């Protein structure tokens, strides 16, 4: 088994946590007998922008070629490039051009990570948030009228296509099918948003009918967010439109205290295009260059990438190693009350795999 991986470290702590992600991937490859062919790309970072006036070369798609996956650090250095330019010029290009219509984030409470919800133990919180990543509320359809007058108005349309809704729901039901509880929860608001959201609900019911072995329920987004905090134990796979999924995919990891170590996948499930795996966090200019960054978000993203590539056992082993290192204060980084630097933490995880 040989996998071609495009590696893009990006800015700030992206450049510090990426080598730890690679260290762990290499240890995992040695142990499980597969090969990762890495191609590092020196673009999609703000120094590139400073030199060239753009985030990526015009022919970036050719440069990247057809890797099995893209392993990404973090992008953004607001002193050089405004954030909307660095993000739109790099990460959002990948998401769109590669039709990465699934944004996938685990929400898992782990020992050694302080949980902001009182009284929760590891095992209580273990679910996935799936966000639709290409349509919905984030459309470019709309505009302003009568600007500067009393009749001034703005509007922006929500776009839901059958293809777009069905494919994200299918991903959710397929994922639920692989899990012990086999439960899909749909985020809706069909009481207030009375055209698009009833359509979403209809498509959920329709999709559910092809999955007799998977149970499902739905909550309006307001009570759903409350339940993330009040009853996180009731969730297994939670699926939402672009806007609802955006909110839930930050709230979920925050409830498990993991926003600093959480990973994410931007996935094109059919494999027509590469999927991209990256930590949830950004480039952290406040701690960059000090070897303080927690590499676990990058390493957990590596585990998600291997899982996506079909290396399930390798992915599970990385997760076990992460869980062991999180229990040990001398191996945790300072953001989790430990004393380790970035490399100490990364090496500790890699050693457990060798
Ligand atoms: P951030 O995630 O970079 O930092 C927020 C806070 O969390 C900071 O105090 C930082 O020190 C801490 N933190 C983040 N990751 C950490 C880690 N691995 N270990 C220890 N502490 C960590 O978010 P912020 O400050 O809003 O954004 C900074 C830059 O990152 C901006 O340019 C922004 O656009 C970019 N960004 C990029 C993302 C991406 O590449 N996907 C995602 C979020 C932000
Ligand atoms: Mg967000």
Indicate which ligand has the atom closest to the C-alpha of 282. Answer: 1
Q: Does ligand 1 have an atom closer than 6 angstroms to the CB of 263?
A: no
For residues 202 and 335, membership in a common domain is answered with no
Cα separation, 331 vs 224, in Å, equals: 36
Q: Is 250 in the pocket of ligand 1 (CB under 6 A)?
A: no
Q: Which of 261, 282, 289 to mutate to test the pocket of ligand 1 (most atoms within 8 A of CB)?
A: 282
In angstroms, the Cα distances linking 227 to 192, 216, 240 are: 19, 16, 15
pLDDT at 290 over 90: yes
Which residues form the domain of 245?
102-267
Q: Examine the domain organization and report whether 162 and 254 are in the same domain.
A: yes
The verdict on 17 and 91 lying in the same domain is yes
Mean pLDDT of 274-283: 97
CA of 72, closest atom in ligand 1: 40
Rg over CA atoms, the chain: 21
ipTM: 0.98
Q: What would the two tokens of residue 162 be?
A: 């059958």
> Which structure tokens are listed for 201?
């609900």
| Residue to mutate (ligand 1; options 14, 95, 281, 322; most atoms within 8 A of CB) | 281
Convert the pLDDT of each residue in 161-175 to its tens digit. 999 999 999 999 999
Those residues whose C-beta lies under 8 Å from the C-beta of residue 325, and which sit 6 or more positions away, are 296, 331, 332, 345, 348, 349, 352
Instruction: For ligand 2, an ion, list residues with CB under 5 A.
Output: 246
- Give me ligand 2 centre to Cα 30, in Å: 35
The token duo for 111 is: 């020992």
- Please identify, among 267, 287, 303, the residue that sits at the C-terminal boundary of a domain: 267
CA distance 221 to 190: 10
Same domain for 194 and 119: yes
Q: 130 and 221 share a domain?
A: yes
Residue 83 CB–ligand 1 contact under 6 Å:
yes
Q: Is 294 in the pocket of ligand 1 (CB under 6 A)?
A: yes
pLDDT digit string (tens) for 295-341?
999 999 999 999 999 999 999 999 999 999 999 999 999 999 999 99
- Same structural domain, 232 and 186: yes
Hey, what are 267's tokens?
Answer: 């996935």
CATH no. for residue 164? 3.40.718.10
Same domain, 121 and 164: yes
Choose one of 267, 294, 325: the last residue of a domain: 267
Overall number of domains in the chain: 2
Over the chain, what is the mean pLDDT?
96
């Amino acid at each position: 088994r040989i996998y071609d991986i495009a590696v893009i470290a990006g800015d700030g702590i992206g450049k510090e946590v990426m080598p730890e992600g690679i260290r762990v991937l290499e240890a995992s490859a040695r142990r499980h007998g597969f090969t990762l062919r890495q191609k590092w790309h020196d673009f999609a970072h703000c120094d590139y922008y400073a030199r060239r006036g753009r985030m990526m070369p015009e022919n970036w798609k050719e440069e990247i070629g057809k890797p099995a996956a893209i392993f990404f650090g973090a992008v953004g250095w607001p002193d050089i490039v405004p954030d909307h330019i660095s993000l739109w010029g790099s990460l959002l290009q990948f998401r769109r051009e590669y039709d990465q219509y699934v944004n996938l984030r685990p929400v898992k409470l782990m020992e050694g990570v302080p949980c902001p919800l009182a009284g929760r133990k590891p095992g209580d919180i273990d679910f996935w948030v799936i966000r639709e990543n290409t349509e919905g509320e984030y459309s470019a359809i709309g505009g302003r009228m009568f600007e500067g007058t009393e009749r001034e108005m703005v509007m922006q349309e929500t776009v839901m296509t059958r293809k777009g809704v069905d494919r994200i729901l299918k991903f959710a039901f397929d994922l639920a099918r692989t899990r012990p509880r086999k439960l899909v929860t749909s985020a809706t608001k069909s009481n207030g948003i009375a055209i698009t959201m009833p359509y979403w609900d209809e498509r959920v019911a329709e999709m559910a009918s092809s999955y007799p072995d998977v149970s499902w329920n739905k909550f309006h987004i307001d009570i759903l967010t409350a339940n993330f905090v009040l009853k996180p134990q009731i969730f297994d796979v939670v699926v939402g439109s672009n806007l609802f999924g955006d909110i839930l995919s930050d709230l979920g990891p925050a409830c498990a205290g993991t926003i600093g170590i959480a990973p994410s996948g931007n996935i094109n499930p059919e494999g027509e295009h590469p999927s991209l795996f990256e930590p949830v966090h950004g480039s952290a200019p406040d701690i960059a260059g000090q070897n303080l960054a927690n590499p676990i978000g990058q390493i957990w993203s590596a585990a998600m990438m291997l899982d996506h590539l079909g290396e399930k056992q390798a992915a599970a082993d990385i997760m076990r190693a992460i869980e062991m290192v999180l229990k040990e204060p001398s191996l945790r980084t300072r953001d989790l009350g430990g004393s380790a630097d970035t490399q100490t933490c990364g090496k500790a995880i890699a050693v457990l795999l060798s």
